[in-house]
Amino acid sequence: MSMKDMMPNFELYQPASVDNALDLLEQFGADGWPLAGGQDSYDWFKDRAKKPRAVIDLNGISELRGIKETAEGVEIGALTTLTEVINNDIIKAQYGLLASAASRVASPQIRNMGTIGGNLCQDTRCWYYRYGLDCYRAGGNTCYADTPQGMNREHCLYEADRCVAVSPSDTATAVVALDGSMVIRNKSGEKVVKAEEFFVLPAVDIIHMTILKPGDLLTAIRLPKTWAGARFYFEKVADRNTWDFALVNISAALKVNNGTIEDARMVCGGIQCTPKRLTVVEDIIKGSPQNEETAELAGKSASRGATPLNYNHFKVPLMENLVKRAIRSA
């Protein structure tokens, strides 16, 4: 019987360019594992739940790092660390929502090593799945969390389709709220997709949480000028302020003119397999004054369509109150 905390054998490759990395990813296909900061990957390897034949260490590729202004907004290399995102002057001045979200990821030590690309692409934290049980997401025919005895306190309120796991990424809600886009490269070329389309529901693909396929590489995140300098609000509710993943988090971007909300994007995490855009809330508050009455009305509408599981009913009022606070305080 294999022991936990002992990594399986794999071949290690350290490409010096994106093109070299793409060659390796194409060569190994589903048996290749791209490694960024490694904070999530090493857990998978130690638990022996993932056993790649080859690990492609991307840390030697300088073109995947850094933050630069562009004519359209800002571009963040996928290997840029979360600490670099938090401390960057452009991000702090124009896209503070992302800096706030990144600052709540795990602990300072992990943020120093963890990358924004890795945080956006990390797999779900459902313990049944991570422990190696043959659930739907692992290719089996059971969801152990969605049973009368299943522990599902941290699981979803929306869009369950066999799997009830949620996205664990704090930065994902901010990137979606900022109307960001993902730059994806493979041997066939490059494509840019909206962040909302980057994350996928279990009804679309129950095995993966993003549209990335074997051979694909997330190279950058682009944020448009559209929401630069808007009014922002980020809040994360977790069991502990450090280290823990969100029970629910919220990212809000509002454009307010003379006290009236002219436009808004509001996204919650921890309630769905993908960052959930609260379009009902957005529709209600657009054209309304930024006041207590608007916040109350939006909060009551936020949970429309929610389907709680046995142990996560508390997420409904939690989400409603986060929406209220975002509208009051953005």
Percent of the chain topping pLDDT 70: 98
Helix axes 315-329, 292-302, angle to 10 degrees: 150
Contact 167, 124 (CB under 8 A): yes
Whether the per-residue pLDDT at 98 is higher than 80: the answer is yes
The pLDDT confidence band at residue 1, using thresholds 50, 70 and 90, is very low
Lowest-confidence pick of 10-14, 128-132, 153-157, 283-287:
128-132
For residue 4, what pLDDT band results from cuts at 50, 70 and 90?
low
Bridge partner list, 220: 77, 183
Q: How many other C-beta atoms can be found within 10 angstroms of the C-beta atom of residue 231?
A: 18
- 256, pLDDT greater than 60: yes
- Give yes or no for residue 25 having a pLDDT over 80: yes
Look at residue 127 and tell me whether its pLDDT is greater than 60.
Answer: yes
Protein fold of 69-121+166-329: 3.30.465
Examine the pLDDT at 57 and tell me if it is beyond 90. yes
Give residue limits of the domains in the chain.
Answer: 69-121+166-329
CA 330 to CA 323: how far, in whole Å? 10
> Quick check: 182 pLDDT over 70?
yes
Residue 18 scores a pLDDT above 50: yes
Q: Which tokens go with 316? A: 């409904």
pTM of the model: 0.96
Q: What's phi and psi for 33, nearest 5 deg? A: -125, 110
Q: Is the confidence at residue 29, as pLDDT, over 50?
A: yes
Tokens (6 digits) for 157: 């309120």
